[in-house]
Structure 1
Amino acid sequence: QWFVRYLDLKDKFRERSDEVKWLPEHMKIRLYNWIDGLKWDWCISRQRFYGVPFPVWYCKNCGDMVLADIEELPVDPRLEKNGRKCSRCGSSDLEPERDVMDTWATSSLSPRLALVPAGYFQSLYPMDIRFQGHDIISVWAFVTIVRSEIHDSLSPWKRIFISGNVYDPLGQKMSKSKGNVLEPANFIEQYGADALRFWASSSVPGDDIKIKEQDFVRGRRTVIKLFNAFKLLELIRSDKPLKKLNTPPSNMANAWILAKLNSVVKDVTDLMDQYLFSRARTQLDNFFWNTFCDNYLEIIKGYGNTDTDPALQDETVSVSYHVFLDVLRMYAPIMPFITEELYLSYPEHGKSIHVDLWPSFSEEFIFQEAEGKMDYIIEVIGKIRNLKTGNKMSMNTPLERVFINGNSRIIEEGRDIIMGMMKIGSIISEDSPEILVSLDEKQENK
């Protein structure tokens, strides 16, 4: 057998582990336990045919070892001799080494194998991050640290992200013997690849994840929602050219959505930088579904009408396309296919969304007054929605008159938005510390 001596390096391995930021941190204890429990050196040879061979022959005459030259590598001694002779006795009667290297002996070099051929080793090593499962911390993570210490006296990466395993809907390990194996290809065929990635993004570092069909459904619905949102923007634009986004916007709703986008860009970016993908996607989902689609798009639906002020139309088109483009950019790592298709459908676009710039937080898009007022108006609209639901009305049911108690000054500023979204003929507002909405008795009995 072939061995790598490393029992005398256990303290060094712990030092290198401490230099790495573990995500989540508690997973590091698994590696500590493994290092502390080591009782013998690392056996790197295996008795099988497939694998990376040891480039070694043995002289049958004197027993000396014959090594291949570096320039000859890779070479399999079981398949060729190339006229080699023993340097000690000159005999050509050589016996090939028949063992091959263990898979972890070669995969432990993955950072070096990725960087050296491309000429990036000096500039990119240690690598930024390793993504791997918790079940191979004691093998892949450990032996990569071993090789990096032996070869370079460095940690192989700055961070390590530990993922969990995928279990069936009942939380059981999948196996052929149980008959509960679920193939990703089947989910892709039914829901699409973006929906599969949407489900995968719900995982939490270090935790196992169950297959939940409702997550695939939500992913599919999000793909469709993105497509339909873009179709609505195209209808509002009506083939008009996109004009430069000017700030601050004159329209309160446009200023509000830019401010909300600015906040979600900051939150999502911070969470992505921490590799908290599930929380980042949740923040983005909430903004896209609730803030952008349920509220902002409902507000601007009528802005494509011919009687809308042309300046307001141009501003709204510029703002809405800007916001939606940043939504696509943030969704792109999670759902690369629909985002690429919609990105390339923009009137002006780059080569690919996946080489475009990530959105950034901007002081230019902080509109505290407009944001506060619109948040209040959205709260009023939510009360009216609840009122309609309580009276078993659809959201499109017209209302002749609505009584609103609250901040009458803000309500008056948002009168057109409230009436347009909720199909209201007239509003009667009065000052009150609490938001209360009601209908007259005639409408409630309809």
Structure 2
Amino acid sequence: MSEMSKTFDPAAIEAHWYKHWEEKGLFRPDRPGAEPWTIVNPPPNVTGSLHIGHALDNTLQDILVRHARLKGKDALWVVGTDHAGIATQMVVERNLAKDGVKRTDLGREAFVDKVWDWKAESGGEITRQLRRLGCSMDWANERFTMDEGFSKAVLKVFVELHRQGLLYRDKRLVNWDPGLGTAISDLEVETREIKGSFWHLRYPLADGSGFIEVATTRPETMLADMAVAVNPEDARYTALVGKQVRLPITGRLIDIVPDEHADPALGSGAVKITPGHDFNDFEVGRRAGIEARDMLNMLDPKARIVQTADGLVPAELLGLTTAEARTAVVARLKDEGFLIPHTDKDGVEHDAEPRTIQTPYGDRSGVVIEPWLTDQWYVDAKTLAQPAIEAVRSGAVQIVPKSWEKTYFNWMENIQPWCVSRQLWWGHRIPAWFADDGSVFVAETEAEAQAQAGADVALSRDPDVLDTWFSSALWPFATLGWDGSQSPFASSDVEKPVPGAGFSTALETNGQLGRPASQLGGRYPNDVLISGFDILFFWNARMMMQGLHFMGDVPFKTLYLHGLVRAADGSKMSKSKGNTVDPLGLIDTYGADALRFFMAAMESQGRDIKMDEKRVEGYRNFATKLWNASRFAQANGIGGSTTLEAPTATLAVNKWIIAETIQTVQAVDLALADYRFDGAANAIYQFVWSRFCDWYLELIKPPMVGDQKGVVDDETKAVAGWVLDQILVLLHPFMPFITEELWHALSPREHDLIVAQWPMADARAIDPEASREIDWLIRLVGEVRTARNELNVPPGARLPMHVRDASPDTLARIARQGAVLARMARVTHAEGEATGGAGAAQVVVDEATFVLPLDGVIDLDAERARLTKAIAAVEKERDALGGRLSNASFVERAKPEAVEKAKADHAEKSAEAARLHAALGRLG
């Protein structure tokens, strides 16, 4: 072993150890006969780079997988990336545009080849960055949602769902991105607050008897209006239900229909209905008997005005953008007297009422999203959701924190059909072929489709691809080799759940919902899934649906949902705000271990994390403290342990640290079992920093123990080495790099720390009396040090210490620990009682009072004057802050962060005043 460096340098060890682990295959599951343990990573986009959310998500996963490995399990962390249809296609198109090339210039096949080329050259950035974070993933079996095996599984699932009637083609509204020319998911829609207007319009009754007033933020959509809805309970409109209005501009006759969507308390209580361009209106239209195929469409794929099916849109409006059409429609409505002016508070008339409008934008294209009526492929999510609902209700899947269950049930019980087609070139092409007569043939291959259609029928393949969420829903089993050829059940005793019948069709065992035997080599179901709550429905729920349907079992036993990492002020991070944090920059500055520990220590179930770089710096300091403690150990002949069990100890200090270690192991075990990452991290932190470094290493410094010759005795070496090993193993899942480095620095090892054995929490090794004695010693030393500090006693001054009212046990402890007290508290036990009172500090610990005469050590009068002056100053500040906080105007009008700071400052000054009063009181 070489002598450790004086300074801890994270960069010097991180690259070395990660390369070592990966080259030795230590991330691969290779423990025949051991219990399999499996987790899959939420596949990041192949276009992505590591952001702070990835850092949190993957840190938590790595903690669990490293912990499982240390517990002796055959741990597998499945790693891979998502082909990210929209994002990847955009990246490649931008690259082509630099050379003046469009994808349409290349054609579909050549463009897809370009995407594969890009993936080979540039698609691995995020996987390299995950390595920098220390993620112990099974890179040898890295998967990609477009690789051959996975693609085969995707096609199999699509075809099977279609065969079972659970996947179909339908005309419905979708979120349409005119910039990208494709349908997108809700997750890809970014809602922004935009200053807009609210127009009030007169729609004349067809019989000439009057008009009905409607209001809208999108007046241009009236070109495709098909009804006016009123609430059936609204007496104002009862007589108008069934009548018609003649629309301005188009002259179209539309019905006045009753529907509860119309709220009598909002506006006029009457709502214009454009079923082809509004999600709520679509449902109102269907309830009114309008078929989707008959709903009017007034937009093309670029969101420009087109002629409706009835031909009533004026020619001069055709080809306009929605913004241009809005201006033209409002002008014409105003000219023809159909616009009702808005009068502001000053009595001035305006064309519209100003409003702040929640407007949907494409998160990648940056253009306004339009609800658009189009033919797409849909999955019958309502049917597939039923077993997934039952799985959570029964406890087959545990959602942590449990508070998310209510949200899950609410969404799943009201789930809508899932649009799974996208108008892109990059992705899994939909395995459907069309005949000229409109017939559709779904098959895994074109040959199979042709066989269904007949040899003489000309077929053309659907140009669309599948939503990436469709393929990633298969991640927990398709990554493990499932391609549809395997039987979904390892046991013939278990019936496959019938779609829609609920998960309870599986066997019941001891009153609990039974499961099929483990599948795919015991890797399915996965043990746990770590995910952000924001993809609970887009990914987590869909994995449950597909896993239950195709595997007959849940995809994971536990679903842990973590919060968001927010900016220091609590706001959401975004590039537009400029408040994002680069985790790689933090790693460069503080090391991966410090960032990982910060993530774990701050991850409290159900709460978001506020980014705090000072805390990251603090955890780098924590690593440095452990480094220096290990250097002390190495310098004093303390090495690694040769036993998992605690060594035999006779000294109270060694018995105490053994007990403290065991209690820490117990606390960490309980915390990790409950997915309390913060509890586990903080238990380790407090033990290492306070109990081990600040106290134990100080208590055993020679010549205070052992043979009094300036060396650590053999018992203490054995105990200290054992404790340090337990620390390294406990801390390894959180801080893998420094712990592996120290593991090898302390002793020659037969194996690496990453595959060591987790500590045993053997309570039989705890000696309660020894623990009480050292706890007493620590409290006494701490109180004496506090008194010395408060009273400005010179650090080198050694004080006599008299004791009053001490029990025989306390006197015995003083006798045994006298040498330690002399060194650590700078006191000597003096015989006889001191009078206390003026000129002596008094410290009370348990039943005993310890008196420290100060006459001749400090200038008592000067010290009283100093304390009195300090008390006056701090109380003045305290009272000023108290006055601000009692001022209702300040509390109500000031920024919340200013109020919180004032409260914190007031508490700090109050505590400081109390300490100074106590110090003055010690002087009598």
Q: TM-score range by the shorter chain?
A: 0.7 to 0.9
Structure 1: which amino acid aligns with 2:743?
Y
2:409 is equivalent to residue 6 of structure 1: no
2:468 is equivalent to residue 99 of structure 1: no
- Aligned residue in 2 for 1:198: 597
**Per-residue deviation, 1:130:** 0.9
Given the superposition, is the C-alpha separation of residues 423 and 135 from structure 1 closer, same or farther in structure 2, using an over 3 Å criterion?
same
**Per-residue deviation, 1:381:** 1.1
Matched residues in 1 for 2:436 and 2:750: separation?
66
Q: Secondary structure at the match of 2:748?
A: coil
Q: Secondary structure at the match of 1:414?
A: helix
**Per-residue deviation, 1:216:** 0.7
Structure 1: which amino acid aligns with 2:790?
G
Matched residues in 2 for 1:411 and 1:233: separation?
27
Matched residues in 2 for 1:157 and 1:284: separation?
29
Structure 2: which amino acid aligns with 1:21?
Q
Matched residues in 1 for 2:647 and 2:593: separation?
34
Q: Which runs of 5+ in 2 are unaligned?
A: 1-375, 487-518, 834-843, 860-924
Matched residues in 2 for 1:65 and 1:243: separation?
68
**Contact kept? 1:329, 1:353, Cα under 8 Å:** yes
Q: How does 1:145-224 map to 2 (within 5 A)?
A: 145-201=544-600, 202-224=602-624
Deviation per CA, 1:196-234: give whole Å up to 9, x if none: 111111111221111012211211111101100100111
Structure 2: which amino acid aligns with 1:403?
H
**Contact kept? 1:256, 1:367, Cα under 8 Å:** yes
**Per-residue deviation, 1:436:** 2.8
Q: Secondary structure at the match of 2:427?
A: coil
Q: Secondary structure at the match of 2:627?
A: helix
Matched residues in 1 for 2:581 and 2:429: separation?
36
- Aligned residue in 2 for 1:131: 530
Given the superposition, is the C-alpha separation of residues 282 and 428 from structure 1 closer, same or farther in structure 2, using an over 3 Å criterion?
farther
- Aligned residue in 2 for 1:143: 542
**Per-residue deviation, 1:121:** 2.1
- Aligned residue in 2 for 1:236: 636
**Contact kept? 1:86, 1:92, Cα under 8 Å:** no
- Aligned residue in 1 for 2:668: 268
- Aligned residue in 2 for 1:249: 649
Matched residues in 1 for 2:674 and 2:793: separation?
44
- Aligned residue in 2 for 1:45: 421
2:811 is equivalent to residue 408 of structure 1: yes
**Contact kept? 1:419, 1:427, Cα under 8 Å:** no
RMSD: 3.0
Q: TM-score, normalised by structure 1?
A: 0.87
Matched residues in 1 for 2:409 and 2:846: separation?
59
**Contact kept? 1:350, 1:356, Cα under 8 Å:** no
**Per-residue deviation, 1:8:** 3.3
**Per-residue deviation, 1:356:** 1.1
**Contact kept? 2:400, 2:560, Cα under 8 Å:** yes
Matched residues in 2 for 1:128 and 1:177: separation?
38
**Per-residue deviation, 1:423:** 3.4
Match of 1:22 among 373, 395, 399: 399
Deviation per CA, 1:92-136: give whole Å up to 9, x if none: 854222111112111111110233369962513222111111111
Matched residues in 1 for 2:574 and 2:434: separation?
44
- Aligned residue in 1 for 2:826: 423
Q: How does 1:290-301 map to 2 (within 5 A)?
A: 290-301=690-701
Q: Secondary structure at the match of 1:359?
A: coil
Structure 2: which amino acid aligns with 1:380?
L
Deviation per CA, 1:163-195: give whole Å up to 9, x if none: 001111111111121121221112112211111
Q: Secondary structure at the match of 1:402?
A: strand
Q: Secondary structure at the match of 1:268?
A: helix
- Aligned residue in 1 for 2:849: 436
- Aligned residue in 2 for 1:358: 758
**Contact kept? 1:131, 1:162, Cα under 8 Å:** yes
- Aligned residue in 1 for 2:725: 325
Matched residues in 1 for 2:380 and 2:767: separation?
63
Q: How does 1:57-136 map to 2 (within 5 A)?
A: 57-59=433-435, 63=439, 65=441, 67-69=443-445, 86=451, 88-91=453-456, 93-116=458-481, 121-136=520-535
Matched residues in 2 for 1:134 and 1:357: separation?
33
The structure that is helix-richer by fraction is 1
Q: Secondary structure at the match of 1:53?
A: coil
**Per-residue deviation, 1:44:** 1.5
Given the superposition, is the C-alpha separation of residues 350 and 139 from structure 1 closer, same or farther in structure 2, using an over 3 Å criterion?
farther
**Contact kept? 1:380, 1:435, Cα under 8 Å:** no
Q: Secondary structure at the match of 1:293?
A: helix
**Per-residue deviation, 1:306:** 10
Q: Which runs of 5+ in 1 are unaligned?
A: 70-80
Given the superposition, is the C-alpha separation of residues 429 and 113 from structure 1 closer, same or farther in structure 2, using an over 3 Å criterion?
farther
2:749 is equivalent to residue 336 of structure 1: no
Q: Secondary structure at the match of 1:146?
A: helix
Structure 1: which amino acid aligns with 2:477?
R
